[in-house]
Amino acid sequence: MGPSRRTQGVAAAGFTLLELAIALAITALLAAMAVPVFSSLVARQRLQATVEHLRADIALARQEAGRRALPVHLVFQPGSNWCYTLGTGAPADCRQPVQPGPGNGLIKVVQGRDQPGVQLLLARAMTLDSRTGASARTDGMARFVSAEGQQLQVRLGRLGHASVCAPDATVTGTPACPANSAHSTDSANSTNSAHSAGL
């Protein structure tokens, strides 16, 4: 009698096969629900990191413009294999092997492959004045998109400071872009090319 009661107690304290299957099914369901949320969070963080990187580079351009007593240009190459350069001389094609050096006026090269999952959707060149640090152009901007379709845009103000907005208001905590800041992709790309050729 004693051993039989102990066996029954052990069975009552454990899980049946059905209970274990239900627990595993619930765990799998919760995991499946969490994956999209986690992916969206990672994509947003990568997008925000890319934007902050560009803002830091704009601040660097203002500093270098004053230090070198020359205007500094940020020239972009949009697309999946995007990149951009900071420099004082003729714009270099950042899609080609090129290194900053005292002879070419190139300050920095940024490659999109260092920011996985983020694309530069469209952009217009930026120029920082050497005397005031202000923007020498009124339309300098760059718009990035994450793998989840979230978009953030960096705009260069007249005083040379960068601000961030969300073109379609899809990024929580970021203000929507003004209506007049929306530009078509073809127009922005052609303008960027024209600026690059004219610098």
Q: Are 164 and 171 in contact (CB under 8 A)?
A: no
Q: DSSP readout, 53-113?
A: HHHHHHHHHHHHHHHHTS-EEEEEE-BTT-EEEEESSSPP-TTS----BTTTTEEEEEEGG
The C-alpha atoms of residue 63 and residue 149 are separated, in whole angstroms, by 33
* 9 within domain boundaries: no
Res 14: pLDDT: 66
Res 29: pLDDT: 74
* 71 within domain boundaries: yes
Q: Are 43 and 147 in contact (CB under 8 A)?
A: yes
Residue corresponding to tokens 């152009």 = 137
> pLDDT tens, 119-168?
999 999 999 999 999 998 888 999 999 988 999 999 999 999 999 999 98
Structural domain harbouring 48: 15-198
Query: Coil, helix or strand for 9?
Result: helix
Q: Which amino acid is at 14?
A: G
Res 197: pLDDT: 43
Taking 70 as the threshold, does the pLDDT of residue 25 lie above it?
A: yes
* 146 within domain boundaries: yes
> pLDDT tens, 181-196?
544 444 444 444 444 4
* 2 within domain boundaries: no
DSSP one-letter code for 148: T
Q: If pLDDT is split at 50, 70 and 90, which confidence band does 180 have?
A: low
Order of strands, sheet of 83-87, starting from the edge strand that comes earlier in the sequence? 106-111, 83-87, 72-77, 126-128
The total number of structural domains in the chain stands at 1
Q: Are 167 and 156 in contact (CB under 8 A)?
A: no
Taking 60 as the threshold, does the pLDDT of residue 171 lie above it?
A: yes
Q: Is the model's pTM score more than 0.75?
A: no
Res 38: pLDDT: 57
* 44 within domain boundaries: yes
> pLDDT tens, 60-107?
999 999 999 999 999 999 988 999 999 998 777 888 887 777 677 899
Flag the least confident range among 7-16, 36-45, 184-193: 184-193
* 1 within domain boundaries: no
The C-alpha atoms of residue 116 and residue 112 are separated, in whole angstroms, by 7
* 190 within domain boundaries: yes
CATH number of 70's domain: 3.55.40.10
* 7 within domain boundaries: no
